[in-house]
Structure 1
């Protein structure tokens, strides 16, 4: 029996097949989000929390251009089951060169999807850029340096990251560029873990100086810098 509360993105270019996939998931008491294209599924992934991707294999094969890039991005982000609908049966189908997938829909829903921590797809690509920061936190100015920056936020290295709490608001200043952004702490990595210690922040609002600086640093416009795999 599938775990309660699962939400699965369902993608097929065919209305009939998409409806059949959704109906099958409902028979497992699983929430299904029907998507007529991979770009539609990406929008749901950016703004919602889902556990997996169920995709009609012929649709994945037919995907071209931007759709193909998004399809690969989603398939690498979520547990994914590629199937071919034959009547009322869903036959798992692996693509050449793709990673191993579950052997059945039941295995997909009871083993792979429940172990995936639901999280939203990152909207903007991270760039490995080191920039000095001043973090205004509880009235203090704390020195730091970024390990990566994107249009949506940054990871700031801090050896005393335990002092922060996810959900808190901070101001991030970039002295070299003269810009600043209001941000929310989304992730705290304490010292002593395998990963570098620090905090991941998402920008809520940035001033014009920082926006101009990021355009030069990242060498891309915000609307074109999506976090997608290169085809």
Structure 2
């Protein structure tokens, strides 16, 4: 099946530069000149990833930026800047590093191809109670590691039950023991619910920053009904 990505870039020269950079990857690349049609395009077409021009994103309104924040938790996403004086692409992906010589090719091969394409409307969240190790350090020292459980799981992240204080925007590391590959995953805290708030379980909503291909495919299999859990 052909890998399909969506490129959003307002500047014509930058857009053409990005398209030239992905030409050798033999993928399908649709383009938008603004974020205005992003939701509509994602809802009608299945994509494997998003290519977002950073200047276009910066000039967008708050609603568009909020949508980008949502969809980048669902799709592999790279932020781009075109350097016209060098005829080069600079690319940034959350939680990882790309080949500086061919960043878009690297992003497509390592992030987009292993990820099953889907339209936005199919994004779903599944109730799960997986065993998790949670830490603010990547080496998981006992004094800074909490044994807990997830409450739900989605393609882009999960909610982890915890009464510990966490700051939104901070980084954490988790190991989900039910995954075949429980390699530590770096996550970003997107929301925090303190103990006693709203008569709901306390915890933190996190976005995955560096899922390995095997972990991503396992999450997809679980959400597709091939594992334990209840879809919402």
TM-score w.r.t. the length of structure 2 is 0.49
Larger Rg: 1
TM-score w.r.t. the length of structure 1 is 0.49
